[in-house]
Structure 1
Amino acid sequence: MPGPPKTPTHLALVKGNPSKRAVNKKEPKPPSGVPPIPKHFDKMGKYWFKRIGEELDAVGVMTTLDGKALELLIEAYTEYRQHCDVLAEEGYTYKTVSATGEEIVKAHPAAVMKSDAWKRIRAMLAEFGMTPSSRSKVGAKGPAEADPLEEFLKKRK
């Protein structure tokens, strides 16, 4: 799918619709709230799932359908932390002996896995608007406030 991702309907309505493209009036509007914590998480995963879920819900970004996306973020984060702990204990390199008998310094495998986990974390943080640059691109409902436009339109009917 080429091009930038589609702008959510509520943002298109707020920004205006200069291209005059049809607005999806049947776009799903899942209820806000923190989804249940996955049972397979360890203690650290459960803690971060609950904490970040509540933070996102407080700013109006989290819905009950976002559980899997939040799960991916938390899994990547806990994996990242585990690799950090391993590297702090064992170091970023290790020495081995080649077939010819010379000593070679190699990068620790956990360093590559840590880098991969970091990339996944950054991508998921951006999806939820949790980085300074991505915050402006995510439409947050904010704490359960009534939409003035919807209230006005209801009164007119």
Structure 2
Amino acid sequence: MKGRKPIPTNLKVIRGTAQPCRVNSQEPRPEKAKRPLAPRALSDLARKHWRSITKELEECGVLTNMDQDALAVYCELYAQWVEAGEMIKKKGMVIADPRYADRKTSEGRPMTVPVLSPYFKASLKLSEQMKQMLCEFGMTPSSRSRIRADTDKPQDEFEDWQKRRRMAREGV
């Protein structure tokens, strides 16, 4: 299926753009979750990041039980990105091409041809994938600016009444 990904109904309501004719009435509505335990398959660094990121998402009111797998993927990407960064610090962004290691220059010195480190290339790819996952959870400044999270903590009774009124009017 080509084209834009559909915007979830709860985001339309939060943004104030929900229209009854454009709302998917059969869309699943997962309940907000308390912080879930990290999956066992996560590496140690990913598990550590899981704890900090789930705390933040829970406080913002964006975490649901259905998000666990996507969040696990993000945490593992983060751990791999950190690992690639550590290898770049050790070996550098530019390394000598190993294909030319056995060749000599005309003066008899070993030939060195600079190439980008495979860790640098991996780091770039991982950071792109992480950015996509961060946008899915509203964790970048631009994606966050479009979301008004429902933290179930209305500022006052009037705001609570307005929220209930808006949701009833939009049929959500």
Structure 1 and Structure 2 fold alike (TM over 0.5)? yes
Give the Cα separation in 2 of the matches to 1:142 and 1:38.
25
Match of 1:29 in 2: 29
Matched, 1:127 2:136: yes
Change (3 A) 1:131 1:47: same
Give the structure 2 partner of residue 2 of structure 1: 2
The TM-score normalised by the length of structure 1 is 0.81
Contact 2:9-2:18 within 8 A present in 1 as well: no
Question: SS at 1:125's partner residue?
Answer: helix
Q: Conserved in 2, the CA contact under 8 Å of 1:35 and 1:66?
A: no
Gaps in structure 2 of 5+ consecutive residues: 105-110, 155-159
Structure 1 pair 91–127 and aligned structure 2 pair: CA distance change class (3 A): same
How has the CA–CA distance of structure 1 residues 25 and 37 changed in structure 2, closer, same or farther, with 3 Å as cutoff?
same
Gaps of 5+ in 1: none
Query: Which structure has more RCO (C-alpha within 8 Å, separation ≥ 6)?
Result: 2
- Per-residue displacement from partner, 1:52-95 (whole Å, max 9, x unpaired)? 01211111111011011101111111100001101101111222
**Shift of residue 142 of structure 1?**
2.1
2:165 to 141, 149, 156: 149
Contact 2:138/2:144 (CA < 8 Å) preserved in 1? Answer: yes
C-alpha separation in 1, matches of 2:145 and 2:6: 15
Percent identity over paired residues = 25
8 Å CA contact 1:61–1:139 kept in 2: the answer is no
Larger radius of gyration: 2
Please say if residues 43 and 76 of structure 2, whose CA atoms lie closer than 8 Å, have aligned partners that are also in contact. no
- CA distance in 1 between counterparts of 2:103 and 2:122 reads 29
What CA RMSD, in Å, does the superposition of the two structures yield over aligned residues? 2.5
Q: Give the aligned length.
A: 151
State the one-letter code of the partner of 1:130. M
Runs of 4+ in 1 over 6 A off after TM superposition: 150-153
- TM (norm. structure 2) is 0.75
Aligned match for 1:110, one of 119, 139, 153:
119
Distance 1:6 1:151, change over 3 A: closer
Q: Secondary structure at the match of 1:21?
A: helix
